[in-house]
Chains A and B, each alone.
Chain A
């Protein structure tokens, strides 16, 4: 299969430390692939390598079958939106969008037409003659997006474009970016450290750690089936259990894994009269003590100690379980089929 974007064995060292270690990644045309990982995992460096802003120490980057290695950034037909926008402060919003067209030598008329189009696309027509420092963060980000799209790049790179914005604006902009990306069928690599962002926006998510892609898949797969402990911890509040801990909770275990993951919403808090029904449904019942409760909007998050094992348990905040306070005893119903086996790190 010939992918639209094909990264083969990318390596990048700073001195003796490897920042990217044999990264392979394919993307189909029009796909939005997210690189998700903690800071320092190499995700931004990967973008910079693709853009030509950093040199490779090994591997090949193919875009529509063309090797990008020998090409300068300006010859790669790759657009990039930076975390800090990097708008030119001496140019207006319109002039910023027009910049790439000007460098390409487009005629003034076509430049103007295209600029208007893009201002309309990001819904900022009235800001054409405004300088960047008079725009809000969200507006600056939209102009930066429009600027990189103006030259119709073959690939769009987004380097944590939303991380400097407020939560509400971030949510709106997230939807807007996804919308525009789909409408233009723009192949996009999106870098973020926010798992929610990654899950809601992407066609595919690649979790990165220490310069490697540790797991790739659709958002559903990634969320439901983290393969390693790192992925399980990074994807949210998964309970990660060692083999003895899992043994203590479940009695007996399938497989030979050394660690296991348990989703916090898969554990149920039950009243004594529900016990029979749960047992009949194949659940395992254990006793526990509540350490703390916190209200996360629609969810109540309990920390429960059961025989020395600490579990995080999420319960829908529907008024049924309000009676359980700190230090209270509870019964937990565990579903063995929800216990995920994790692979050894780096295996």
Chain B
């Protein structure tokens, strides 16, 4: 008894020691910066007095409002397109044998590392003013594409979609294994055609996974910086780009306004990730207990999650 007590006391001291370096690192490089950013966002860039002014500017000045609006729009469009394409591809990929499916997923996982600066550059080669396809379309006389400009919003959306699709595919495909073949069979015996089955049973079961993935894609696009920055430097009026130039730009250094914008950006991405979290819990309700036969193995899920994480880091890269 006494022995056990001693051991516990020793362990008490030990675990504090084990956590100490972690606490120091997190405090100095995560919590302190967050705190500094939060307090800074309420300080004026001119006289350092406490103020709401930064948030007022962020939400009312036409310039920054436009940046927020642009970011929200491009994130929404690229995530919605990503979800639509990803959904079709995810369903399709589950129709293949595991060996082929794994190879397809591995490929899309690997190309998803091709984001940020190299991706922007590759798209310049493909669709820039002297790009391969630009020339090809000119040669074939496809006028529909004559007005296309990679450096426009459409062009940027196209590049964003590129990194959204593999992410969407990797996050969505496991939930298709939750749709059991017997549900389809039961529905068909009860008089439902394929479309009716997906409308009444399939899609409602997938819905949480779809909304959750939408959250991740949205956060991913909101935080994306490297791709846009590499494509045209600071010329796009996007929230992430604006924040970057306000804080480390050479022209107008307004760190406190930058902080306010950063807080706003963080709020949207946190909200989107929270949505994903809630939805994951929700879809677990359908998929545990009822679907034992067809859920993917732990390895597959782990791999998907890993791919997802690696992808979601576009914002960082």
Taking Cβ atoms with an 8 Å cutoff, the residues of A that contact B are: 51-53, 72-74, 76, 78-80, 82, 84, 86-91, 99-100, 102-104, 132-133, 147-148, 151
Contacts and interface: CB of A to CB of B under 8 A. Distances in A.
B249 interface: no
B196 interface: yes
* Smallest CB-CB A-B distances: 8 pairs: A100-B190, A103-B191, A86-B182, A90-B204, A86-B186, A73-B188, A74-B191, A89-B286
Given A52-B188, A90-B286, 4 more contacts: A73-B188, A88-B200, A133-B286, A147-B190
A188 to B, nearest CB: 15
Contacts of B98: none
Contacts of A100: 190-191
Contact of A133 (B182, B189, B289): B289
A86 B201 contact: no
B200 A99 contact: yes
Nearest to A72: B188
Interface in B190-213: 190-193, 196, 200-201, 204-205
A154 to B, nearest CB: 12
B191 A86 contact: no
Nearest to B201: A88
Main SS at interface, chain B: helix
Given A99-B200, A133-B289, A74 B182 contact: no
A27 to B, nearest CB: 18
B63 interface: no
Given A74-B193, A99-B200, A133-B289, A89 B205 contact: yes
Nearest to B286: A89
For B189, B200, B289, B290, which residue has the most chain A Cβ atoms within 10 angstroms?
Answer: B189
Nearest to B287: A89
B207 to A, nearest CB: 8
9 contacts: A74-B189, A84-B180, A86-B182, A88-B186, A88-B187, A89-B290, A90-B205, A103-B196, A133-B289
B56 interface: no
B183 A88 contact: yes
B102 interface: no
B285 interface: yes
B200 A74 contact: no
Interface in B280-316: 285-286, 289-290, 293
A84 B293 CA distance: 10
Q: Which of A78, A86, A90, A91 has the most CB of B within 10 A?
A: A90
B145 to A, nearest CB: 43
Interface residues of B, number: 22
A90 B286 CA distance: 7
A309 B218 CA distance: 77
Q: Of A52, A79, A82, A88, which is in contact with the most chain B CB atoms at under 10 Å from its CB?
A: A88
A282 B188 CA distance: 61
B149 interface: no
B186 A82 contact: yes
Contact of A74 (B180, B192, B289, B293): B192
B205 A99 contact: no
Interface string B243-261: 0000000000000000000
Contacts of B200: 88, 91, 99, 102
A204 B265 CA distance: 71
Contacts of B185: 51, 53, 73, 80, 82, 86
Contacts of A90: 201, 204-205, 286
Nearest to A147: B190
Nearest to A102: B200
Contacts of B188: 52-53, 72-74
B189 A73 contact: yes
Contacts of B182: 82, 84, 86
Contacts of A73: 185, 188-189
A29 to B, nearest CB: 20
Nearest to B192: A103
B290 A151 contact: no
B190 A74 contact: yes
Contact of A79 (B189, B204, B285): B189
Nearest to B196: A103
Contacts of A89: 205, 286, 290
A80 B186 contact: yes
Contact of B183 (A53, A76, A86): A86
B256 to A, nearest CB: 48
A100 B192 CA distance: 8
A103 B186 contact: no
A148 B186 CA distance: 9
Nearest to A144: B186
A102 B285 CA distance: 25
B183 A78 contact: no
A151 B205 contact: no
Nearest to A73: B188
Contact of B190 (A52, A53, A132, A151): A151
A84 B285 CA distance: 17
